Chain A
Amino acid sequence: MSLIHYARVWLASARYSIVRTMMFRFDFLMWSLVEFFWMAVNVLLIAVIYRHTNSIAGWTKYEMLLLVGTSMILQRLMMGLFWSNLFELGRNIRTGSFDFFLAQPGHPLFMISTRKLDPDGLLNSFVAIAVVVYSVRQLGLHPSLTNLILYVATLFSALVIHYSAVLLIVSYTFWSIGSQGIEGSYFTLFEFSRLPREAFRGMANVLFVYALPAVISSNVPAGVLIHGFRPVHALWLLLTAAAWLALAVFVFNRGLRRYASASS
């Protein structure tokens, strides 16, 4: 299939998701409220802590808010674009419904990743963007157009990391079907993305900054707005995203070979 065909499939899925959401408007409202409230919890944590201190690991209140806002944009995009699809992948492997995707005219990874959109997650990404814009204004920053483009580009690389992490976690189901709930470890892992890199010391620095990509996925994009573009950091993020995506796709493909459908 050509790229245009893939784009058409994605658009058709997006249209279907929006029509479906409009059919269940109350659900849409409730889920939007749920996501909004979880974001408010993170913002309130910052507000409460900075009542008692002026700095966390050298980060001021609005720098921290910008970091948390960036982390929220990533998580909302992840929830809006991919979460339901990857969450259901685990369930489909267990039940054998994954066959349905193998029979579709397109790469299974694309078909499973793009079947649904969650408009509530996407809608709330605007709230997260508003948090970042507010922080930028409070900090008196005036990022150039180039820096804004680079911020979006680093966010995109970070989104690749988030996607790869969830795909990797869910692909474990190919080997162990009794792994219900394992998807939740994504939230545990990316809780670290709301912390400034400078707060990590010793083993925690090695493990959570260098080995696992949660911290850099938010710190590098936020750094573009706060300190300006640093090519070394951007390259670090880009290479990490490429490595994690390659690993996730490799593991998914190996899992695909193991998949033997479900017995009836």
Chain B
Amino acid sequence: MRTTLHKYRHVYLVGLQSNLVYRGNFAARGLFSLFHLVVVFILWGAVYVGNDRVGGFDLRQTLTYFVIMLPLQFIIGAFNEDYQISEEIRNGLINQFLLKPVNYFAYRFSVFLSARSVSGVLVFLPLALALPFIHHQLSFPPEGWRLALGLPAMFMSALIQFTIAFCFGLLSFWFLEIQSFVILSFAIETLLGGQVFPLDLMPAALYRLSQFLPYYYQMYFPAAIFSGRLDLAQTLEGLSVQAAWVVLLFLLARLLWARGLRHHTAVGG
């Protein structure tokens, strides 16, 4: 067990070093996200003119929800893991992992954690720049349980994000080009993950339906816990559904990996 942990700790550390090379890219991406935040503030500011509450929440609560989304994307979001996995399958680099005592899922997840450690720290730079201008428009709920339950929800969100990306990457066993699948999935995740609007603003039946999809747990769920859009009972129910999705997606990833390897041909030596 200790040897296994040691092995992936090294993968994490090497991943950390290689991701630090791209610190400029991550920081620039974080800065561009501030522009998106400006769009959000202008749009929702205009929506609330003449409305004290929208969907039961005031302007400060809604803006807080979107501000929390920003660091979450950089801490738990899957950026290009699907492409990396796809590339390793397409150009045969994956063959080396088939010959070594390395679990490819665990290896990739360690690399994912290292990348998110770098981007997760760097996103606080643009956020620190913006906070002096926007802090008076934000309101964070005081309940302590939100942090206690929000953090495990965040970790499971990261697992769901990564496992979905992993599954899409594995599609390269069957398809030469997966870019369109990935971008289509990204659009669905953006919408049903609550990045376009808080999901609770949808009609009640659609909102209830979304709670049974994995996308709800990718981003909306932790953001809604932290920003006060979910109460304790909803959070506890959500955590159990989220855990079920983690297990289901993990099983799907294992199935795709096993089936994909049967399909795979390693050429050269």
The 8 A CB mask of A12-50 against B (1 = contact, 0 = none) is 000000000000000100110110011001001100110
Stretch in B63-71, B115-123, B148-156, B184-192 with 4+ CB within 8 Å of A: B184-192
Chain A's closest residue to B182 (CB) is A34
**Are the C-beta atoms of B201 and A56 separated by less than 8 Å?**
no
- What's the dominant secondary structure at chain B's contact region? helix
- In angstroms, how far is the closest chain A Cβ from the Cβ of B181? 7
The residue that B46 contacts in the complex, of A30, A52, A56, with Cβ under 8 A, is A56
- In angstroms, how far is the closest chain B Cβ from the Cβ of A187? 9
Interface residue total, chain B, C-beta cutoff 8 A:
32
- Those of A189-226 within 8 Å (CB) of chain B: 189, 191-192, 195-196, 198-200, 204, 208
Residues of A within 8 A of B177 (CB): 27
- Those of B15-62 within 8 Å (CB) of chain A: 25, 28-29, 32, 35-36, 38-39, 42-43, 45-47, 49-51, 54-55
**Are the C-beta atoms of B39 and A45 separated by less than 8 Å?**
no
> What CA separation (Å) do A192 and B37 show in the bound complex?
11
**Are the C-beta atoms of A44 and B35 separated by less than 8 Å?**
no
Residue with the highest number of chain B CB atoms closer than 10 Å, among A34, A51, A189, A191: A34
**Are the C-beta atoms of A195 and B191 separated by less than 8 Å?**
no
**Are the C-beta atoms of A34 and B202 separated by less than 8 Å?**
no
> What CA separation (Å) do A30 and B185 show in the bound complex?
11
**Interface status of B183 (Cβ within 8 A of chain A):** yes
The residue that B47 contacts in the complex, of A44, A49, A181, A185, with Cβ under 8 A, is A49
- In angstroms, how far is the closest chain B Cβ from the Cβ of A49? 6
> What CA separation (Å) do A16 and B137 show in the bound complex?
53
> What CA separation (Å) do A27 and B201 show in the bound complex?
34
- A contact set with B: CB distance below 8 Å: 27, 30-31, 33-34, 37-38, 41, 44-45, 48-49, 51-53, 55-57, 180-181, 184-185, 188-189, 191-192, 195-196, 198-200, 204, 208
- B contact set with A: CB distance below 8 Å: 25, 28-29, 32, 35-36, 38-39, 42-43, 45-47, 49-51, 54-55, 177, 180-181, 183-184, 187-188, 190-191, 196-197, 201-203
